[in-house]
A and B are shown apart, each in its own frame.
Chain A
Amino acid sequence: MKVEITHPQTKEVILISAEDVDIDDLKAQFEPLLSEKKLRDIIDNLNIPAEAKVLLSQFFDYSIQIGTVVLEVGKKIIEVIRVLINKYPNISAGLVVGTVIGLLLSSIPVLGWLLGWLLMPLFAALGLALGAWKEFGNSDLGKAVEDLTNTIFAGLKKIQVQA
């Protein structure tokens, strides 16, 4: 199945190829489990600079529409960040945010296309180098993010972006 999607920031329209994608499975995986109020509270209570919180809050608006199904990918990313902050309390919140965003956006083309423009300002606001996530690829945190990339975000990997 080929579907047109519009970049929410640039309004650029591209074709995505979703041949092997199980839409119902993706819909179930990206169903937000936390309310929007709860997600905003999570961002409010992160120990990161206000500028980084503003950029992170941009994720709320990002979803991928395939046919009639809307995948709330941005909200799922915030949920994942919160879970990993709980799991790795000795790693700074900024580093968890940077590693999750960096690894997800660099390994899932459609996420990189949608959210790549946020990457440089977000990393600068967090005080991290743009490629910092590569340093954490082999850490426990990096492996946890990779596991998520291969499970919950695996369906998105099948979506091919054709500019």
Chain B
Amino acid sequence: MSLNDDILAINEDPPSVIKDSLKFKVKLDIGEEAYTYLNNARNFLDWLGSLGAGVGTGSFAGMAWYTTLGIFSKAALVIGLTTTPVGWFIGAGALGAITVYAGAKFKRVITKKEEDQLYTKIPKYINTPLDILGVSLCALLLPVAMKVAKSDGTLCEKEYAVITNYLVDEWGYHPDYIKNAMIEQDESLDFFDYYQYGEVLIQATNHHNEIKIDVLERELLRFLNDIINADGEAKPEEVAEINRLKEVLRTLGKK
């Protein structure tokens, strides 16, 4: 099999869980916190600049970032910075990075507070592979949504539409993934347990820095309210399910 065949075979892979990555990253609402190594994008730009200016890890930005690394990474970085690069890297490399540094200096004119008021910050990339994060988040959003929607015995067309529209249009999930996930979830809904759900919620937020419990709580409650009002009338069983979820979230908040 040639390289081109191998590359073309990638097109046959199943479609990504997340179809619109930008929508998904907006919904995560994590801003600069996506850049965990360097704490935020501003430090990242400073750090790139410090490397280019030949300051290395001696600068404030360099040191701040250095302290976030593990022992192996620190050792690797020190070796790396003292390794003599191949000759023709040096000229272009230094000039290129100095250009980056100039850009970073310019950006510092606007304060962080002003930026927060002016923009919604969307990280270009996040640490966790996007599809893995998408599957984890769907496992937090969909079961409870189905539980609430079916608490009156049926999942009506309008409730189905609210769930799919929310996950596909607002979060950017692939419609086929959501369709299949809803079928699977429907089959295992009898085993849903709020206590276990709370445990999964804790595990997921501990494991993925990108999932913020306050963001998830805000999103879930709005989503569930939309579901119970989809057919024009919030039934007592549906309200009771939401109250049970709120109780779980309150318990989590005390931990």
Residues of A within 8 A of B (CB): 7, 9-10, 12, 33-34, 38, 40-47, 49-51, 53-54, 57, 79-80, 82-83, 86-87, 105-106, 109, 112-114, 116-121, 123-125, 127-132, 148, 151-152, 161, 163
Contact = CB atoms under 8 A, between A and B. Distances in A.
B3 A83 contact: yes
B251 interface: no
A7 B92 CA distance: 8
A116 B51 contact: no
Q: For the complex, would chain B's binding face be called helix, strand, loop or mixed by DSSP majority?
A: helix
Given A33-B8, A117-B93, A127 B85 contact: no
B99 A10 contact: yes
Contact of A50 (B16, B88, B123): B123
Interface residues of B, number: 52
Interface in B63-91: 69-70, 72-73, 76-77, 79-81, 83, 85-86, 88-89, 91
A121 B36 contact: no
B129 interface: yes
11 contacts: A9-B95, A40-B21, A44-B21, A44-B125, A50-B127, A79-B10, A82-B10, A116-B93, A117-B100, A128-B76, A163-B88
B76 A38 contact: no
Given A127-B77, A132-B76, A10 B83 contact: no
Interface in B7-66: 7-8, 10-11, 16, 18, 21, 34-38, 44, 47-48, 51-52
Contacts of B86: 106, 112
Interface string B132-156: 1000000000000000000000000
Contact of A117 (B18, B36, B92): B92
A82 B16 CA distance: 15
A129 B129 contact: no
Given A113-B88, A130-B85, A46 B69 contact: no
A44 B92 contact: no
Contact of A34 (B10, B70, B83, B96): B10
Nearest to A128: B76
Nearest to B87: A112
A130 B80 contact: yes
Given A40-B21, A44-B21, A53 B125 contact: yes
Nearest 9 pairs between A and B by C-beta?
A117-B96, A53-B125, A130-B80, A127-B73, A116-B89, A129-B80, A9-B96, A44-B130, A10-B95
